[in-house]
Structure 1
């Protein structure tokens, strides 16, 4: 275990999309921020919705952790720069970045999709992660290294999605992660990607998830257990911490085994 720090004590992490819309359960960003704080990190809760991020900060501080809120739109370079500066101004360093912001994007195939909505979807789901890394990497280099975790999706690993934008953008996140891992290894910055499966979050709930649809999603995996933002957040905390020090450029499905099988369990009997 020489050289491995199990926790993140006194490290500084930025989580984008750290708020969680009102609803049942918890979003991936809020769960990640809380679990990073429980591991000892000081957390910048960044979100375009200040009230949502502020609630995450309140929850962290209620448990004795340290956090601050940074309102910003991560598709805007100036906001990304300001979010990073909020971390370094408060705590003098940056050790981890969690690129969590993402949207479902516009519906439709290549024939049907609205071109302006397509461009905006790529901007939110892909370019924002590049922009945050653009400003975070120099700060991490100054701190002696760090970890970046990009949130993708199992939709970026498999076909079959009804719309073109979402799996295309999430597939881009997967290979962007691999490229970043090579680019920044010399600076002792590890870059990994988490691909969540069909977790149940307030965003999913707000999208009109019926009980029947929710049950069908639960059954589309090996474990047949519904996942939540806490499952994704636990993987984030691991990849930001010292126990993953020998991992970079990896793509980690957190999906109850959905991507491990060609057929559902009941179809194999």
Structure 2
């Protein structure tokens, strides 16, 4: 017997999304800002969380210019009480939570196990890993009320491959990868899908705000099969897909958005 085709409306009208790290530290489009704008374009109402309120406000302005609905929440998502209050704000305003995008992340301390700063290590792990658990902790009970939900954790290709000059960053992103798989197993039977987007060397405000020569930018571009520079929009579209019913049979997946950088090396 032939399987019935599953068709979906990509609209997110009536749904509520929470995006952490929804601002950009320089003018332009980072991963969180792109995801928030794209979710709003498809009809979702979006809570924009960022530690710097002005950055999230700029994202809100961009969404409003397109006729979308969003609200700003200044919060430190490494703190349990801030995560709880942020989710409560979304529920108080819109009555539900359907989508959680755990996008926030920092580079953390440089160095190896021998010489990195221990206090910076602890804090970076709270930002890059613990924050995602805390946001899920407070969002999942509301998703259960709808009988479904979608959580998208943003990691990095650094969590999939070795060779990074610092220990903290790939360690924390690798933790996000396997936390995603574990959460997908825990909550799949409850109708909650949990997936991970692993961006490659995209050119975002977080990257170029620190300064980058054209030579370095060219080397980064050539580290992939496509040899095309990616942007926050590329990551945002992957997040939007995983948030929607179009990916309704997808959970526990790790989705590299990297122009093929993790698929192998050039042999020609």
Q: How many Å apart are 1:112 and its aligned residue?
A: 1.3
1:12 aligns with 2:6: no
Aligned residues: CA RMSD:
1.0
Q: How many Å apart are 1:225 and its aligned residue?
A: 0.3
Partners of 1:91 and 1:4 in 2: how far apart? 24
1:31 aligns with 2:56: no
Residue 221 of structure 1: SS of its match in structure 2?
coil
Q: How many Å apart are 1:160 and its aligned residue?
A: 0.5
Deviation string for 1:225-247 (max 9, x for gaps)?
00000000000000000000000
Aligned length: 264
Identify which of 87, 101, 105 aligns with 2:104: 101
| Correspondence for 1:191 | 194
Q: How many Å apart are 1:209 and its aligned residue?
A: 1.2
Partners of 1:140 and 1:163 in 2: how far apart? 36
| Correspondence for 1:123 | 126
Q: Comparing 82-91 with 219-228, which one deviates more in the overlay?
A: 82-91
Q: How many Å apart are 1:7 and its aligned residue?
A: 2.1
Identify which of 16, 21, 25 aligns with 1:21: 25
TM-score by length of 2: 0.96
| Correspondence for 2:262 | 259
1:135 aligns with 2:138: yes
Q: Comparing 78-87 with 149-158, which one deviates more in the overlay?
A: 78-87
Deviation string for 1:89-124 (max 9, x for gaps)?
111111000000000110111111111111111111
| Correspondence for 1:220 | 223
1:167 aligns with 2:144: no
1:72 aligns with 2:75: yes
Residue 71 of structure 2: SS of its match in structure 1?
strand
Partners of 1:2 and 1:228 in 2: how far apart? 31
Whether the 8 Å CA contact 1:4–1:245 is kept in 2: the answer is no
1:114 aligns with 2:117: yes
Residue 190 of structure 1: SS of its match in structure 2?
strand
Whether the 8 Å CA contact 1:22–1:202 is kept in 2: the answer is yes
Partners of 2:26 and 2:118 in 1: how far apart? 30
Q: How many Å apart are 1:3 and its aligned residue?
A: 6.3
TM-score by length of 1: 0.96
Partners of 1:186 and 1:89 in 2: how far apart? 27
| Correspondence for 1:151 | 154
Partners of 1:52 and 1:144 in 2: how far apart? 33
Partners of 2:162 and 2:205 in 1: how far apart? 25
| Correspondence for 1:207 | 210
1:59 aligns with 2:58: no
Q: Structure 1: 5+ residue runs without aligned partners?
A: none
Residue 46 of structure 2: SS of its match in structure 1?
strand
